[in-house]
Chains A and B, each alone.
Chain A
Amino acid sequence: EDQVTQSPEALRLQEGESSSLNCSYTVSGLRGLFWYRQDPGKGPEFLFTLYSAGEEKEKERLKATLTKKESFLHITAPKPEDSATYLCAVGWGSSNTGKLIFGQGTTLQVKP
């Protein structure tokens, strides 16, 4: 069964305390892995796209990496404004219209 699993479900960090979020997937015909950030009551905000094992992308304090079975979102020296739910999604299927399977998300809280 095609599945995307994120861990941990919730993460509390002190400001400046680096950590990683995990997204593991079992999908046949992976057509891209996507990371989004979602603030309460708002739509997901696109962060990164990864297509191939070994690929890495960076943006400010965030770095996303991809292996054949999982992706990590590394957060370096987080700030309170990084608090949000981080969603991982996998592009799936034979179509190029971007059908996405989302993980359950990791809710990150960064305390000052």
Chain B
Amino acid sequence: DQQVKQNSPSLSVQEGRISILNCDYTNSMFDYFLWYKKYPAEGPTFLISISSIKDKNEDGRFTVFLNKSAKHLSLHIVPSQPGDSAVYFCAASAEGTYKYIFGTGTRLKVLA
């Protein structure tokens, strides 16, 4: 049973436009959500996170939105740059567990 789902395996966006990556979860105990970026042959690197007490968190070009009632979060990248081309994973954790469940990833390609 996939508790964290990223239903779009890939996404292509023109440089300068907005990239929107989506993530859905099923476990209502999850209260912390993270996004990671992964380049080929490297380990994932942390991008941005959000706690369930918030509905939005912004860091530069990256904004994460959380809709708890829909069990849905999204990552917005504005403006998208070619260097953003990577695989993006969302992850979720329940308070105090320090266990993380990852989605299957979305490959973003930003076209110059």
Tell me, yes or no, whether A binds B: no
The residues of A with any CB-CB pair to B shorter than 8 Å are none
B residues touching A (Cβ–Cβ < 8 Å)? none
